[in-house]
Amino acid sequence: MGKQKSKFLRGKRIDPAPIEKNIAVADLIDESFLAYNAARLREACQLFTLKMLEPEVTVGLSLTGALTPAGLGISALIPLIKAGFVDWIISTGANLYHDTHFGIGLAMHQGNAQTSDIVLREEEVVRIYDIFFDYSVLLDTDAFFRKIIEGPEFQRPMSTAEFHYLCGRYVHEREQKLGIKEKSLLAVAYEYAVPIYTSSPGDSSIGMNVAAKALQGNKLAFDPSLDVNETAAIVLAAKRGEVKSGARRQRGRSAVFILGGGSPKNFLLQTEPQIQEVLGIDERGHDFFLQVTDARPDTGGLSGATPGEAVSWGKVDPDRLPDAVVCYVDSTVALPLITAYALTRHEPREPKRLYEKREQFMSLLLAEYKKSKRR
């Protein structure tokens, strides 16, 4: 009787077909990304496409790093929203500020990162590594935001989701006047009612311009408590199966798709501790965890913190750890590939239009909190 085969040798045999010149991106990932971080990227594509995009799953996305100035808002994020693959977003303010350049017709250019910054300064050229743009792009975008926030609808405290929704409407109108189609993430999120939050609204040029207008008596103010509670309400409604309608439905699930780390990552994940730890509502954590990062876990920074560590905080359901993937690669490499894979392998989903359901979700959160012993 021969030796029994080890259970550890049940994985698919590594024997890929040679890559051909016309291979599709999704086929390349499935057939050739077999080990190391390539395998993690394949697992990320498959987790996102085969599990996170099921109808009952609500997908939250966090954005850090200068992704929109690199054109990834146009090439990847907007197609994901249009396909119904992203339901709500937490972003740095910088990504939304630089996204606006495209929506109001301003130009960003490819450049050489080795160019002297002293020379660039003399030429009034600003750079984000190897992205170059004229200094006037900043001034014109600043002027755009200062002008729109003078409007009467902005003269009150509000969540950052409401602020970005109102801004998105103006960017959408500017696109239409300029004959520009779907260049701004803010504008498309407005059109598809995808709420966008910013965890640190003062930490960007948008926040700086809001602060400048406050010196002139402008009444716009961001309410961080609304942001914390609204995002928690979205997750609770997702888990209770109330995202698609107000009626009781089968239990839903929540997925987090994290590009980078930083404050947006924590703000996305802290929704579950807010529900469980602070509000005392019975919950288990997010169901699916997908992160693209270049940060190491051993330095103690949140950007590199693993899904296993998140379990200890109640951020991730411990029973769902097999549905957690961390892909150690640059987001500018991973995001286009994940997007192409998902669009190839999955039919579009009906947009959930969560922005329009915020009051309904907040009512659910408040009703469950009233039954809690933490009050």
Catalytic residue numbers, as ranges = 315
Alpha-carbon distance 313 to 275, whole Å?
12
Alpha-carbon distance 53 to 209, whole Å?
37
Using CA atoms, how far residue 235 sits from 64, 230, 283, 315, 371, in Å, is 21, 9, 10, 11, 18
Give every CB contact of residue 253 below 8 A, 6+ residues apart in sequence. 54, 56, 57, 58, 238, 239, 287, 288
Give every CB contact of residue 339 below 8 A, 6+ residues apart in sequence. 75, 76, 79, 80
Q: Which value, to the nearest 10 degrees, does the dihedral of the CA atoms of residues 155, 158, 160, 164 take?
A: -50
Cβ atoms of 57 and 253 closer than 8 Å: yes
Handedness of CA 319, 349, 47, 298 (dihedral sign): negative
The amino acid sitting at 135 is Y
Spatial CA neighbour of 69 closest among 126, 117, 116: 126
